[in-house]
Amino acid sequence: MDKRFKIKVTIRKEGIMRYFSQLDLVRILERALRRTQLPIFFTQGFNPRAKMSFNKALKLGEKGEIEVIFYFRERVDKELLRIKLSKNLPKGIRLRNIEIVNG
């Protein structure tokens, strides 16, 4: 089994972004994560996706916070993740908190 390093990120969805669905949010986060060029852990199979887990989904039209766990192949500095991910996210999605879950 491959070693995975987890980082939990609390994201605030507000403004015009509250009208984007959970599936849209997943796509936005995956694209932003790919642009960071950090060592992302991908799912296995025919159509590999960036591995991430959500604790809950926000309803359409609702602003609020959501927690996401991103998985990486190597240790990633949380401040480096904050800098790189913040500049790739659209207006209306902000990073509130980043914490390393293991390692």
- In this prediction, residue 90 carries a pLDDT of 95
Q: How is the chain split into domains, by residue range?
A: 5-100
Q: Confidence band (pLDDT; 50, 70, 90) for 102?
A: confident
Q: How far is CA 101 from the centre of its chain?
A: 14
Whether pLDDT at 103 is above 90: no
Whether pLDDT at 5 is above 80: yes
Spatial neighbors of 53 by CB under 8 A, at least 6 apart, are 68, 69, 71
Q: Confidence band (pLDDT; 50, 70, 90) for 2?
A: low
**Tens of pLDDT along 23-39?**
999 999 999 999 999 99
DSSP state of 27: H
Whether pLDDT at 10 is above 80: yes
Q: Are 4 and 51 in contact (CB under 8 A)?
A: yes
Q: Note the pTM of the prediction, 2 decimals.
A: 0.89
Helices assigned H by DSSP within 2-102: 22-35, 78-86
Class assignment of domain 5-100?
A: alpha beta
- In this prediction, residue 58 carries a pLDDT of 87
**Tens of pLDDT along 55-101?**
888 889 999 999 999 999 999 999 999 999 999 999 999 999 999 99
